[in-house]
A and B are shown apart, each in its own frame.
Chain A
Amino acid sequence: MKAIPVVVLAGVLSVGMLVATPNTAVAQREAARAGDTTLAPLHEPPGGPYRKVSGLVPLPDFVPGLGTLYVDPATLPAGPFLAYDHQGNLVSSIYMIPLKDMNAHKAFSGLKVAQERVNHVDIMFNAGHPGVAEPHYHVILWYVSPQRAAQLVK
Chain B
Amino acid sequence: MIASSRREFVKAGGLALAGFGLAPLFMKRFSNPGAPEVIEMRSDTMGAHVWFDPIGLYVEPGTTARWIVRDNVHTTTAYHPRNDKHALRIPEGAVPWDSGYLVKPGEYFDVRLDVPGVYDYYCTPHEGAGMVGRIVVGDSRGPGAQPFDYWVDKPGTDGWRRVPDAARTAFPSIKRILSERRVHPPARDR
A residues touching B (Cβ–Cβ < 8 Å)? Answer: 58-60, 64-65, 124-130, 133-135, 138, 153
Partner of A135, one of B46, B71, B124, B129: B129
User: What number of B residues sit within 8 Å (CB to CB) of A?
Assistant: 21
Q: B39-94: which residues lie under 8 A (CB-CB) from chain A? A: 43, 45-50, 71-73
Tell me whether A59 and B103 are in contact in the complex, defined as CB-CB below 8 angstroms, given that A130-B125, A135-B128, A135-B129 are known contacts.
yes
Excluding A58-B101, A128-B126, 20 further A-B contacts by CB distance (< 8 Å) are A58-B73, A58-B100, A60-B73, A60-B103, A64-B71, A65-B45, A65-B46, A124-B46, A124-B48, A125-B48, A126-B46, A126-B47, A126-B48, A127-B48, A127-B128, A130-B73, A133-B125, A135-B128, A138-B46, A153-B45
Q: Would B47 and A129 count as touching, CB distance under 8 A?
A: yes
Chain A: CB-nearest residue to B71? A64
B134 to chain A, nearest CB (A): 19
Report chain A residues within 8 Å CB of B71: 64
Q: Would A129 and B125 count as touching, CB distance under 8 A?
A: yes
Q: Would B128 and A58 count as touching, CB distance under 8 A?
A: no
Report chain A residues within 8 Å CB of B166: 135
Chain A: CB-nearest residue to B51? A127
Is the C-beta of B131 less than 8 angstroms from some C-beta in chain A? yes
Chain A: CB-nearest residue to B166? A135
Q: Would B48 and A129 count as touching, CB distance under 8 A?
A: no
Report chain A residues within 8 Å CB of B104: 60
B66 to chain A, nearest CB (A): 20
10 contacts between A and B (CB under 8 A): A58-B73, A58-B101, A124-B46, A126-B46, A126-B47, A127-B47, A128-B47, A128-B126, A129-B47, A134-B125
B17 to chain A, nearest CB (A): 33
Tell me whether A127 and B49 are in contact in the complex, defined as CB-CB below 8 angstroms, given that A58-B73, A60-B73, A133-B124 are known contacts.
yes
B residues touching A (Cβ–Cβ < 8 Å)? Answer: 43, 45-50, 71-73, 100-101, 103-104, 124-126, 128-129, 131, 166
Report chain A residues within 8 Å CB of B125: 127-130, 133-134
Q: Would A134 and B128 count as touching, CB distance under 8 A?
A: yes
A130 to B104, CA, bound (A): 14
A58 to B50, CA, bound (A): 17
A58 to B74, CA, bound (A): 10
A124 to B49, CA, bound (A): 11
Tell me whether A127 and B126 are in contact in the complex, defined as CB-CB below 8 angstroms, given that A58-B103, A59-B103, A65-B46 are known contacts.
yes
Report chain B residues within 8 Å CB of A127: 43, 47-50, 125-126, 128-129, 131
Q: Would B128 and A128 count as touching, CB distance under 8 A?
A: yes
A125 to B46, CA, bound (A): 8
A88 to chain B, nearest CB (A): 22
Chain B: CB-nearest residue to A154? B45
A91 to chain B, nearest CB (A): 15
